[in-house]
Amino acid sequence: MTAVDFLWAIPVFGLLVFIHELGHFAVAKYFDIRVHEFAIGFGPMLAGFQRGETRYNLRLIPLGGFVRMAGMEDGDQEEPRGFAKKSVGARAAVIAAGPIMNFVLAALLYSAFLFLVGQEQVQVPRIGDVPATCQAVVGGQSVARLCPAYAAGLRPGDLVKSINGAPVGDWQDILTTVTASDGKPQTFVVQRGSETREFHLQPVRSPDNRWLVGIAVEIRREPLGRALVQGPVLTAKTLGAMVVGLADMVTGRVKPQLAGPVGITRTIAEQAARGWDNLLLLTAFLSINLGLFNLLPIPALDGSRLVFMGVELVRGRQLDPQRENMVHFVGFLILVGLMLFITYGEVIRH
């Protein structure tokens, strides 16, 4: 990784925050809510300009943003075009629009990835790539050597029919068999065009302690129309997996794994060093993560505001704005404290 790789965190964070706040802003404008400020970042102002009734600012700390609307602060609830004067449905739409825009961004990024790069064809056991060299552990040292598949004569496009006499139905069958090989020789029967050929491969152990033969799954680019359909599908699947993972952490089934700004920045740098396609996928993943996180019923987050609106619907009247703002303020302080705690731990570890 280089210093430039770490700098990729700035546009990635900026894009995620901008899209999120743009959702709040656009829907607020749709419902004719007066917006005092649209800001990316917190703290002192670095640059900005005034257009109409709204001030657009770039602030020093690039770890979030906000849309400051009339009717959301103490003493401002009587503003005729204020947030507080709108119906519960309108206010809920404004609040939910931020996380929803993060999901939309993720869907578009996934669609772009499927169209420009493609996706692994795991349903079909067709070989997509056979690199000439592999990193393997020999005599306790990691060395570059000929990959077993390349040395044996396997080539891209070969369709794996069986391994050691057992039929192969999809790519997972190949992974399972090779992983469990324990280094024993493997007999691959493949179809190449109209011919059926047999190859004998000796798996090697990789530096991360996996057995491999040096083949990669076929990757196929999707047509634009299919990519635009599959992007939202992949977003929904990823979101569902995140919800399940979050539930497992809450119930104690798995150990909580939290990442702060330092950890996320390092992950962005790692993926940027591997290529723009990896960075694209990570940005989509982070966008879903940000959207889901903001929907949690934690004070100061969008999810808690939606919960308060639900209580308002049940009660038939608005909650005391001052008390609600105090709850959100305390929640904000707690979140900042948690972020600082996580960041301190990440700095100490690295």
Catalytic residue set: 21
Burial of 145 (C-beta count, 10 Å sphere; 0-12/13-18/19+): middle
What's the distance, Cα to Cα, between the start and end of the chain in Å? 15
Q: What gap in Å lies between CA 340 and CA 318, rounded to an integer?
A: 34
Enter the tokens of residue 165.
């006499």
DSSP string, 82-133: SGGGS-HHHHHHHHHHHHHHHHHHHHHHHHHHHHHT-EE-TTS-BEEE--SE
CB 67 within 8 A of CB 21: yes
- What DSSP character marks residue 223? P
Nearest by Cα to 198 from 215, 183, 181, 186: 186
Taking CA atoms, 231 is separated from 49, 111, 244, in Å, by 35, 4, 20
Nearest by Cα to 282 from 108, 106, 23: 106
Enter the tokens of residue 49.
């300009």
Using DSSP bridges, classify how beta strands 211-212 and 204-205 pair: parallel, antiparallel or unpaired. antiparallel
